[in-house]
Each structure stands twice: as C-alpha cells, then as structure tokens.
Amino acid sequence: MGYHLAARLSVEQHDVTVVERNPDLAGRIQSQLDVLVVEGNGASLTCLEKAGIRGADLLLAVTNFDEVNLIACLIAAQFQVELKVARVSNPEYSERRGILEEKRFGADLLINPEQECAREIFKLFHRLAATDVAEFAGGRVVLLALPVGSAAPAVGRSLEEIGRALEGRHFLTVAIDRDNESIIPDGATRIQAGDTIYLISEAEYLPEAYRLLGLEGERIRRAMLLGGGRVGTHLATMLEREGVQPTVIEQDRDRCVALAEKLESGLVLHGDATDLDLLSQEGIAETDGLAAVTSEDETNLLASLLAKHLGAKKVITLLKRSEYIPLVTRIGIDAAVSPRLSTANRILQHVRGGRILSMAVMERNQAEAMEYEVLPGSRVEGKRIADLHLPQGTILGSIERGDQVIIPRGDTRVEQGDRVVVFALPAAIDETTDFFR
C-alpha cells in the first residue's frame, strides 16, 4: 500500500520520502520510484527525523502494524505535521470512535483498508449491473461503469442521437473504455458492443440508462461470501443491516465459530472456497452476488472463475495486487476491488488542494471522479461550462445546487456554492484541481 501511494503522489509531483525497514524492498522502491528512501523503523523518532519529519506537510503511516502507524502519528503531531493519516486494521480502532478518537492518537484520519474494501463491494452489490460505483451528493448522483452488450439498444447510435430521443437530461456519458484505451466522448461518439461506459446519473433515473444498455438493475437478495476474514466480516455485517442474509464459506474452523457468533442471521459454513460440490450444494446458481474475499489473490481468482462457471449472476473478486484489476473483466469476472485503491480514495481526498468534498478512483483506468464545492474567486465561478476550457481528458458531469441536481450542458453556468462532480483521466487530474482552488 505504501508503494502504491508513493508512486501515485510522486507522479503528481509531490516530494515523497518513504521509510521502509526491509532492505530489499527499500532498494526496489529506490530503483523504481522518483522518491527518497530511508531505511529504518517508522516508529523511531531518529528515523523520522532523518526522513525529514520536521518539514513534512503530510504523514501517511500505512505499515501492516497498527501500533507502528499510531506511534508514527503521535511523533508527527509533536512536529506540527499538518495532516497525519494512519492505517488501522484492528476493528476496535475503527468501530469504537466515541472512545478511541483520531486526535487521541495524534492522527487526523484513521483508515481501515478492509472496511473501505467491504464498502466498495457493498456498493457494487447494490448496483448489480455495474463494474465500478461511486456516489455523490448524498447518493442522489451516481457514477457507474457499465458494460455494453451486443444486443443493447444503444449500440451503433451516437450520444447525440441518444440524447435527442430522451425526454429531459438525467445522465451523461463522461468516458468510454474501448480496446484498452479510455476516451472522453463527444456527441458524435458512437456506442460499440464491448465498450465500458462511465455514466453520471441522477439515481432515480438509472433504470432509463440500464434500458438503453440492455441491463437489469435489480438489487441484491441473495449473497455469498467466500472468505470470513476481516473484509468478509465487515461485508457480512453490512449486508445484514440491509436485510440481506449472507452465506459465508470459510476454511478456518476457529474463524467460522467467531463469525457465527457475531452475525445475527447469516449462515457460516466451514469449507473450501474452491470446492465445486460445496458451491453447487449451497445454490450458487441462484445467488445474485458473490464476493471472493479470502486473503489470497490466486484463491479469489480461481473461486471467482468457478462461481461464474456454476452460474453466479455477479461475481466480485478481491485483489491485493491492483495491477491485475484491468485483466479481470477480460477473463469473465464482473468486477474487482483492491484495498490499495479503496484506501487511496480516502487518502487522496485529503491530499488534494481545493475544496474536495468526496472522490473516487476508478479501478480499471485510474481516472478520478471528484466532488468540489465552488468557492468564491475560483476559476469556474460564474462561467458557462463551454467557456471554462477544462483540460483535455476532463468533463464536468453534474451540479448540485440546493435541492436541485443538474446534468449540465455547454451553456450551463457554474455558480458559487455549487457542488460539482468532475471526471478526469489521470494526466488531467492536477490541472483540473487548479480550477477549483
């Protein structure tokens, strides 16, 4: 996770120092990234001083050890570091916020990667047709990545033609993934079978978008989780709160007992996630959604492929190695999530300049959707969208103005206090943020 964040921040021209105690890993980071590497313990005052903690604006403590991360934040607080983020995996730190508040640890933000990952899967379960989901404006605006099948009514039609045939303007295509390339479309762009469409829509009008793409928009009723670790436990608990009774298959007997005691209605089975007979017996073909969330990428991939073979409607796999994610849909799996990217969403929101209210990183193409508040004196205030001259690779997807949600046109004017959602490809992110400072 530290490598992923360091690479991302370095590309965005931040001055990054990485503290790593493993000599081999430290050498690899130094040779592959444009960062300064200090070999040592992140909980050591001497090591942090050597790394430049006195002049740092931001500390990201993301080791595998909660205690090291929290001590690093306590030390950083003594040096007036402006923003201190700690990765914590122990549920007690994230679930008992009334007693264990961030400030008591010297941190400004505690992030539980397993919990963030479970939230991503939960959102995908509730939008079964989507391979990526992000919500803005309190859930009233939704960004979805949707596959286009060969029989979809939109295939072969241009976006301009589709827009003319619709009553009102309730959704906007902000990007298309086609042949391993991401493009920002215009009105003349035609939809092709095999495309992945990135659509910003008012939530209540999603059925209209699904119809155009030949998709079903039902919500999940039956869920199966392969793996009862931290991600599986968080996800099962979230599903129960929504009235969904999950079935969890876990190979470790002690973990099964602990999970069964924690869940109220979920069914916990002791077994192997790749056992074909067990999956068939438990009715995987009638399952609306399945998530493979064991601790091993290889097991998750194999279990996901078996689940699709046995007829599961939607299959989501957990991958620690985020570089595998673009390959997932090519081999027949519906969607993938990564603890690195789920955590990066939260962290980057705090690192960005301007007034970012929320943001999401798209798993497949690393594009970002950012929700800004339009501040007095910003470059967008009072201007028509057509006159903004946003960077190439950027599109303004929605505006929330009071109780009104606006899917904008070129002549729509941006006003002070608006909450706008902007979609930007990686190369355009920094320049886009400058418009809202």
pLDDT in tens, 345-391: 777 777 765 567 788 878 666 788 889 989 888 899 999 999 999 99
- End of a domain among 193, 212, 231? 212
pLDDT score recorded for residue 289: 92
pLDDT score recorded for residue 9: 86
pLDDT score recorded for residue 231: 94
Residues 87, 11: one domain? yes
- End of a domain among 179, 212, 245? 212
Dihedral sign of CA atoms 144, 148, 151, 157 in order: positive
Residues 327, 223: one domain? yes
The answer to the question of residue 345 being in a domain is no
User: Would you list the DSSP string of 175-234?
Assistant: EEEETTEEE---TTPBP-TT-EEEEEEEGGGHHHHHHHTT---PPPS-EEEE--SHHHHH
CATH of the domain at 309: 3.40.50.720
Q: pLDDT tens digit string along 397-426?
A: 999 998 899 999 889 999 999 999 999 988
**Which residues lie closer than 8 Å to 396 by C-beta, 6 or more apart?**
385, 388, 390, 408, 414, 420, 421, 422
Longest dimension (CA), the chain: 66
For the chain, how many structural domains are there in total?
A: 4
State the pLDDT confidence band at 304, using cuts at 50, 70 and 90: very high
Q: Tell me the pTM.
A: 0.81
For a pLDDT cut of 90, what percent of the chain falls above it? 53
**Residue 145 and residue 177: Cα distance in Å, rounded?**
9
Question: Is it the case that residue 255 has pLDDT exceeding 90?
Answer: yes
Cα dihedral angle (118, 119, 121, 122), rounded to 10 degrees?
110
pLDDT score recorded for residue 32: 94
Residues 180, 266: one domain? no
pLDDT score recorded for residue 272: 94
The structure tokens listed for 437 are 């400072």
Residues 234, 206: one domain? no
Contact assessment for residue 306 and residue 299, using Cβ atoms and an 8 Å cutoff: no
Residues 201, 226: one domain? no
The answer to the question of residue 344 being in a domain is no
The answer to the question of residue 194 being in a domain is yes
User: Would you list the DSSP string of 62-93?
Assistant: -SS-HHHHHHHHHHHHHTT-SEEEEE---HHH
The answer to the question of residue 346 being in a domain is no
Range of the domain at 413: 352-434
The answer to the question of residue 347 being in a domain is no
Please give the average per-residue pLDDT across 286-312, as a whole number.
93
Residues 315, 264: one domain? yes
Q: pLDDT tens digit string along 109-154?
A: 888 889 989 998 998 998 888 888 888 888 889 999 998 988 899 9
Burial of 388 (0-12, 13-18, 19+ CB in 10 A): middle
pLDDT score recorded for residue 419: 93
